Amino acid sequence: DAKTTQPTSMDCAEGRAANLPCNHSTISGNEYVYWYRQIHSQGPQYIIHGLKNNETNEMASLIITEDRKSSTLILPHATLRDTAVYYCIVRVGVFQGAQKLVFGQGTRLTINP
């Protein structure tokens, strides 16, 4: 699986959009980009994933560059409850593949009032 690089920490003001970047320059054509987050002492929470098109759900939007070498997770209106560690993971899509996720160190996002 391709390696990802994320900033160690970021700050964002409450109510503003939080944009979390992820670099995955060695990504291959069949690898998906996944985002999870972990609020302190809880289990990680799935947020969103995508292959090459931009994706949006009720939690966030995922923007993947055309060359797929980087992506940005957008939380449109950040709240204090969005303070968490955000993990960007790249994973090959295999129809009945083992559900192994390799977590890096992630980005610690702090939402400030």
In angstroms, the CA 80 to CA 100 distance is 30
- Give φ, ψ of 64 to 5 degrees: -110, 130
Q: Which residue, 41 or 53, has its beta carbon nearer to other proteins?
A: 41
Of these, 19, 21, 23, 32, which contacts other proteins (CB under 8 A)? 32
Q: Minimum distance between the CB of residue 32 and other proteins, rounded to whole angstroms?
A: 7
The answer to whether residues 24 and 104 touch, using CB atoms and an 8 Å cutoff, is no
Residues 70-109 that bind other proteins (CB under 8 A): 87, 91, 93-96, 98-105
- Residue 58, interface with other proteins (CB under 8 A)? no
For residue 13, count other CB atoms closer than 10 A to its CB.
Answer: 11
